[in-house]
């Protein structure tokens, strides 16, 4: 159940928000319904690259320099 806590959204805004929530739920269900990854593939860098979850954070620029 989704409840509007603040504001007064138009029907179009509410429909757009619900479409996003449904799309995220469907994507999450599709990912979690896959076969479990065997332990020998846990450290495979290709597995991480396929998920597309690597995104720089707000302070990523500060972590790019490793002093010697």
pLDDT tens-place string over residues 5-63: 999 999 999 999 999 999 988 887 766 656 777 788 777 777 656 655 556 777 777 66
CB 21 within 8 A of CB 2: yes
DSSP classification of residue 42: T
Region of residue 6 (phi > 0: left; psi between -120 and 50: alpha; otherwise: beta): beta
The pLDDT value given to residue 32: 60
The pLDDT value given to residue 3: 87
Backbone dihedral angles phi then psi of residue 48, each to the nearest 5 degrees = -70, -40
Sign of CA dihedral 34, 32, 57, 40: negative
Euclidean distance between CA atoms 47 and 44, whole angstroms: 6
Q: Give the pTM.
A: 0.43
């Amino acid at each position: 159940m989704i409840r509007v806590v603040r504001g007064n959204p138009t029907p179009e805004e509410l429909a757009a928000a619900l479409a996003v929530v449904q799309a995220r739920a469907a994507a999450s269900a599709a990912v979690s319904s896959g076969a479990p990854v065997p332990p020998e593939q846990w450290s495979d860098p290709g597995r991480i690259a396929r998920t597309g979850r690597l995104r720089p954070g707000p302070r990523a620029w500060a972590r790019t320099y490793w002093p010697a």
